[in-house]
Structure 1
Amino acid sequence: MIIIRKKYRPIFLALIVFLIYKCYPSNSTYNNDYDNSEQKLSLTKEKLKKQPPHNADNNDLRPLSNGKSGVFTNNKNPMFYQNSVKKCINYMEYSSVKHYLETDDISDPLTLPFQRPPKNCRTFHSDIIEIVIDELKKRFKDPRLSRIFENAFPNTLDTTILFHVTAEENSKLSKKNHNNPRTAYRNMLPESFIVTGDIHAEWLRDSSWQLSVYQPLIKYDSKLLELIRGAINTQSQLLASNPYCNAFHPLPYMKVSKVPGHIDRVRPSPNWAHVFECKYEIDSLAAFLTLTREYYENAPRVDDMEKKFITKDWLRALSQLMLVLNREKTPTFQKDTGNVNNFNYIFQRDTNIGSETRPLAGTGNPAKYDINLIKSAFRPSDDATIFSFFIPGNAHMAVELKKMAAILEKLKDYIHVNDLDNFINVDKTLEAMMVYALNIETGILEHAVFQDPKHGQVLAYEIDGYGSKLMMDDANIPSLLSLPDLGFLNVSDPLYQNTRKMILSRDGNPYYLKGPYFEGIGGPHIGIHNAWPMSLTMAIRTSNDDAEILKYLDLLLSNTAGLGLIHESIQVHKPNGQQYTRPWFAWANSEFAKTILHLAEHKPDLIFKEEYWGKPFVLKDLDQYRIVD
């Protein structure tokens, strides 16, 4: 028997209470707090991929965090949104259970659930977003479209803003986030950390595309503008420190929990305290430029607001980006001697999934000289490239380099006046950006165009420069399907149209999957049974054919497993999208919303009630709703 002296008993009791508090999880966790759930701490991307897909048929009754059972597929006993407002449930769980408003007619089979988290549980609020939702809801003729848009459009803001401080909030913090004199300037800037959804980390690519749908609205809402400006600042920090990496933990000063990532054999070695995963993907670098460019194009021309993305960190990040491009244009062998060049990036992972690591001791398959393209070790799906010259990623980079060079040319005086030109040689950088952009364009047209016996001149997905080519497309953006959306080719270009026909057919694209209930482009990341709704959103945005648009739109509306959200992928042989992956995947919801906004502007008659026919809804024409703080 252990005898505790009387004077030590309060300390001992306090220790017991502390241990009980730490060992027994609370039920009050919300979407971005996984501290109390060992299961969610292990939700890395690879583990999520290995989990069996959700199947609504097998989950009629789903336990909620309060210990009670909530109905998952049975409309007779729904969960009501109003009953959830007192408690913030982890959104991965919340999004997998149907919630209805008390005003919803749940006897109507077209009534989909309301899946926005309770207002007190949302991670960000924007008045202009709510205005756009209300304006469009009254115009939509299909109630399914109305509800999915209502759920999907704000999904990133509602659920994935893990950390955000405005410039004013940052400067007023009693304990500064950045107490190192060399980085103290960051305390005067906004910062935003955007997670991908069910994985507690930020992908440069995902977060840039998640926010893209809101960029046209930042001139109407200063809070939304500050959020995106903060996202640029945070990405700048991350990229400047670890330019080869694709996904990141929340930074220590953010004081939020993080989940275990992947610590692989990578050269150059990253800072694993900050890095969730370090897969070099050319499109992640291009996405950083996309995020910045869209901010510049949409920010109000008041008080130099459109120029304020340029900071010390942003210029350092741009410098590191250009350094990576310079390194990764290096071929495997020297042209004159045949000697092997030094490998600037090596990646190896212990895994039984072939697409999660690289061949030849992590160096990748050989890439030829004189091709004018930039190598990429991984694709936007996070799968390893087979041939290092990834064509959609190179196209994306070429577009953004050219556009960003034009922007920086206009801002040279601003950079100089603010004493920022000591961080980068602006003229040399602009020249290098244009050279890379033009070389990449030439390289794609000279080396990535092939004659297909059925479709004519088409683009390959990947090449090595030796004549080897990979003919396929993947749903993730950038893709061959997305080239007009990226701005690389005009949608009417015969080369694009031929390529589009090829990749949207089963005989031309091994990852175009078609079943009795769903179809679309998938990819090796999930497998050969699942197509990604994201591919259909892009097919709609690159189509002028009303019948094709309506076909793909109906597939999207009919395959949410009755949950009213857009999922990562759907089993094409299961009805209603009932078997899917990732209940909480914000990027796909943003892409859906962007597609509907595209139709509202360009083809309103397809989706609006008759009284709104011929009346496009244009985001640039909302000046009457401008929000002044």
Structure 2
Amino acid sequence: MLLTFKSNDNLNEYNFDNWPPPSRISQYQDVSAPYPGARCPPYSQYAGIRHLPYSNGPLQLAFQRPKKECRTFQSPAVEKVIEEVTSRMKDNDLARMFENCFPNTLDTTIRWYVLGDDPKAFITTGDINAQWLRDSANQLQPYIDLLHYDENLRKLVLGAIRMQADYIISSPYCNAFNAPPESNIPPAGSGYADRVYPPPNRKVVFECKYELDSLASFLDLSNEYYTATRDTKFMDDAWIRAIESIFDVIRDQQMPTFTSDNSPNFPEYLFERTTTLATETLALNGIGYPVNTGTSLIKSSFRPSDDSTILPFLIPVNAMMAVQLEKISQLLSKIGKNELATFAQETSNSVRKGIEEHAIFEHPVFGKIFAYEVDGYGGRIIMDDANIPSLLSLPRLGFLKKEDQVYQNTRKAILSKTGNPYYLQGSVFKGIGGPHVGLRNAWPMSLLQQISTTDNDNEILELLNFIKESTYGLGLIHESVNVNNLGMFTRSWFSWANSEFARVILDLAKRKPLLIFKDGNNPFYLSSIFEHK
């Protein structure tokens, strides 16, 4: 097999059978290879190279899966779905992308796991050797419906939940973590230079940005796991302690900036970093800008992009938390944790009320829409960011129906330059970007959310074409691409985005099979290829 390197737009080819070249051996020994002695190029390099065989479609997309002996986790159920779905797809380039993207998390990011009676799993985000709570939860989402058919896959997801619970108990305000000590994987970083309160557990913390969606993602993965398995045993003492830690954070972050006598409340969280980037630290000596009393909303110091918020009441993450709290309330009731269940339900209700009262306003062009961030004083930020949760993804989050009029108005606003400064349209690509990658790059992930929130066939097909072309022949989803030059992109290995693409294809396979399948309007269901246990 030939490997084609892209470097300054000059292509070089190497024979995979003789990989790695002698001059590169020390650089390309990958300690994550699951088989001792396997010579596996690090996927951070591998993902940026076009591999044969190419797809039979007009874009000739590369095959980007590692050799079997270099894959970090293998699931027969996942392989069966790949075979079934790709054999039915009428677009060979889309089929190749699904073949690459659906297994990408399992192929490349499961850095350490144990599958015994107490499973644990350390799942990196891709090219960064740390586990984000949000990313790892989303990376596993496309596999949830397969847990009934693959016991090891079920244990892997359970292991991720238990690993996340340990992290949250240890440092509930932190977003990203190093591998646990028992894995013997050296830490990727520790954030020692950041000034953080409360002090995080430096032994395992990679970064300690407080992002409300990180905690909501843990709830989401727990809720999805229960829905798929009906297993309540995972809700053990450690899981309950993690839930209690999340609820403590919520209580603290609902507090206003000032007391009733107008004195500043003691900050429950602060973060300062020495940096030239305003999005990498918080104002006012690490506290963030003030919020008003009586809103019921929950502060989030950082966005899902890891950029700092401007106004701390970030509406999409509050919406996500409201949905997940309502669901987790039902689980807590099932195991007799009625006091926690009541808190979850009441907080869900109050957050929804807070969004209705403080986030909806009359836009001069689009009518009533949702603001992206508010402060409870009447201040608001009008935009959307590309990451999930976003305003665009509100129906996917389960917060409302896509037919909701305020949502439809908001959707029109954020998919236009008039209503969203980060909606970018160039000569070769268009979509929502954000401060994280500057003013020239949009995120394919935003197009995936646009597909998820429309029933318009022409819109879906147009967006799928943009997504295919955005891979620049690599057949994987990038973090972002330059809207005027697809060869200028960030992150060739971004596992969350690959999982999101796979999730969208599986959704279309049920919701819009005529758009992607050769055999017409015949939806794809797992029950059609698996025998029920």
Do they superpose with TM above 0.5? Answer: yes
CA distance in 1, matches of 2:404, 2:506: 24
CA distance in 2, matches of 1:61, 1:262: 37
1:376 to 285, 300, 312: 300
Partner of 1:442: 353
Contact between 2:187 and 2:204, CA under 8 Å: does it hold in 1? Answer: no
Contact between 1:208 and 1:287, CA under 8 Å: does it hold in 2? Answer: yes
Partner of 2:115: 166
Contact between 1:604 and 1:616, CA under 8 Å: does it hold in 2? Answer: yes
Contact between 2:296 and 2:351, CA under 8 Å: does it hold in 1? Answer: yes
- Note if 1:600 corresponds to 2:530: no
2:211 to 274, 281, 288: 281
CA distance in 1, matches of 2:431, 2:9: 25
Q: Secondary structure at the residue paired with 1:307? A: coil
Shift of 1:591: 0.3
CA distance in 2, matches of 1:391, 1:598: 25
Partner of 1:298: 228
Shift of 1:57: 5.3
Shift of 1:87: 2.7
CA distance in 2, matches of 1:261, 1:86: 30
Shift of 1:66: 2.1
Contact between 1:561 and 1:579, CA under 8 Å: does it hold in 2? Answer: no
1:421-455 deviations in Å (ceiling 9; x for gaps): xxxxx222111111110000000000000111111
- Note if 1:617 corresponds to 2:528: no
Q: What is the 5 A alignment of 1:73-222?
A: 87-101=39-53, 104=54, 109-167=58-116, 188-222=117-151
Contact between 2:20 and 2:39, CA under 8 Å: does it hold in 1? Answer: no
Report the count of equivalent residues: 512
CA distance in 2, matches of 1:340, 1:55: 54
Partner of 2:367: 456
Q: Secondary structure at the residue paired with 1:491? A: coil
Partner of 1:185: none
CA distance in 2, matches of 1:114, 1:369: 54
- The percentage of counterpart residues that share the same residue type is 48
Contact between 2:125 and 2:496, CA under 8 Å: does it hold in 1? Answer: yes
Which consecutive residues of structure 2, in runs of 5 or more, have no partner in the other structure?
A: 25-36
CA distance in 2, matches of 1:65, 1:513: 40
- Note if 1:227 corresponds to 2:182: no
2:21 to 66, 71, 94: 66
2:411 to 500, 505, 515: 500
Q: Secondary structure at the residue paired with 1:219? A: coil
Contact between 1:95 and 1:584, CA under 8 Å: does it hold in 2? Answer: yes
1:242-262 deviations in Å (ceiling 9; x for gaps): 000000000111111222242
CA distance in 2, matches of 1:261, 1:156: 24
Shift of 1:474: 0.5
CA distance in 2, matches of 1:435, 1:371: 14
- Note if 1:583 corresponds to 2:492: yes
CA distance in 1, matches of 2:340, 2:39: 51
Q: Secondary structure at the residue paired with 2:187? A: coil
1:479-532 deviations in Å (ceiling 9; x for gaps): 001110010011110011111111111111111111110111111011111000
Shift of 1:298: 0.4
- Note if 1:323 corresponds to 2:248: yes
Superposition TM-score, scaled by structure 1 size = 0.79
Q: What is the 5 A alignment of 1:241-390?
A: 241-263=170-192, 264-299=194-229, 301=230, 306-334=231-259, 336-390=260-314
Q: Which has the larger radius of gyration?
A: 1
Q: What is the 5 A alignment of 1:38-77?
A: 58-61=9-12, 65-67=20-22
Q: What is the letter of the counterpart of residue 292 of structure 1?
A: S
Shift of 1:58: 2.6
Contact between 2:445 and 2:479, CA under 8 Å: does it hold in 1? Answer: yes
Q: What is the letter of the counterpart of residue 238 of structure 1?
A: Y
Cα distance 1:296–1:530, how it changes in 2: closer, same or farther (>3 A)? same
Q: What is the letter of the counterpart of residue 301 of structure 2?
A: A
Contact between 1:216 and 1:620, CA under 8 Å: does it hold in 2? Answer: no
Q: What is the letter of the counterpart of residue 325 of structure 1?
A: I
Shift of 1:311: 1.7
RMSD: 1.7
Partner of 1:177: none
